[in-house]
Amino acid sequence: GESVGLHLPTLSVQEGDNSIINCAYSNSASDYFIWYKQESGKGPQFIIDIRSNMDKRQGQRVTVLLNKTVKHLSLQIAATQPGDSAVYFCAENILPKDDKLIFGTGTRLQVFP
Amino acid sequence: DAGITQSPRHKVTETGTPVTLRCHQTENHRYMYWYRQDPGHGLRLIHYSYGVKDTDKGEVSDGYSVSRSKTEDFLLTLESATSSQTSVYFCAIAGQGVEAFFGQGTRLTVV
């Protein structure tokens, strides 16, 4: 069935280092992927997305990599800052057949000085 | 927050009572979603809507019903609340093939 999972429930990094958050998905028909950031007491916020016809996409300090061969997605955050501390979720969608957005359990990123 | 409002933001209710949560959008987006978020489970899809009066079940739909009589409102109803439905509920909206935007959440406690 459809599922999205994350390898690491908690990631601790030092301020200024790069962070890498990983995600595995099981549905090979998924063709749209999104990373969300959720701070305590708030709803998830969009960070970056990628479609299945791409293998890399860059934003401001963030890069998403997609490896369809092994059904793996990663979020890279450059020069991690204290404000990056949050829970990060990957989500997958199957378009246009099915617009259900399915989330993984999340990874908590902790940034220490 | 992308024109999406959830109400109420907090609610405490007794077991066995009906509860309705409201999601209101001003973006005219086609898709609307209800999720629940529990520790260790991330965000789980309850129901979603792909148009007025068009809804479908998600992963954890048992005990919940939804209605969408107009584009801007998506209602989630717990017909008879149970303690297992204590959770934080998030509504999200999306256009075709683009990212979803989330509301601030509703914290529901069933006692």
Residue B48 confidence (pLDDT): 92
Position A79 pLDDT exceeds 80:
yes
B31 touches chain A (CB under 8 A): yes
A6-10, A81-85, B41-45 — which is least confidently predicted? A6-10
- Predicted confidence at residue A96, as pLDDT, reads 56
Residue B42's pLDDT is what? Answer: 82
Split at pLDDT 50, 70, 90, the class of B95 is confident
Which residues of B fall within a CB distance of 8 Å from A42? 104-105
- CB-nearest to A44 from B48, B98, B102 is B102
Q: Is the pLDDT of residue A5 over 70?
A: no
How far, rounded to the nearest angstrom, does the alpha carbon of residue A75 sit from its chain's CA centroid? 5
Q: 3-state secondary structure string, chain B?
A: CCCEEEECCEEEECCCCCEEEEEEECCCCCEEEEEEEECCCEEEEEEEEEECCEEEECCCCCCEEEEEEECCEEEEEECCCCHHHCEEEEEEEECCCCCCEECCCEEEEEC
- The CB density around residue A106, as the number of other CB atoms within 10 Å, is 25
- Give the closest-approach CA distance of A78 to chain B in angstroms: 23
pLDDT score recorded for residue B96: 74
Cα angle: B56, vertex A44, B102; to 5 degrees: 50
* Residues of A with Cβ-Cβ distance to B58 under 8 angstroms: 100
Contact indicator for A103, A89 with CB cutoff of 8 Å: yes
pLDDT at B100: 86
Give the pLDDT band (50/70/90) at residue A2. very low
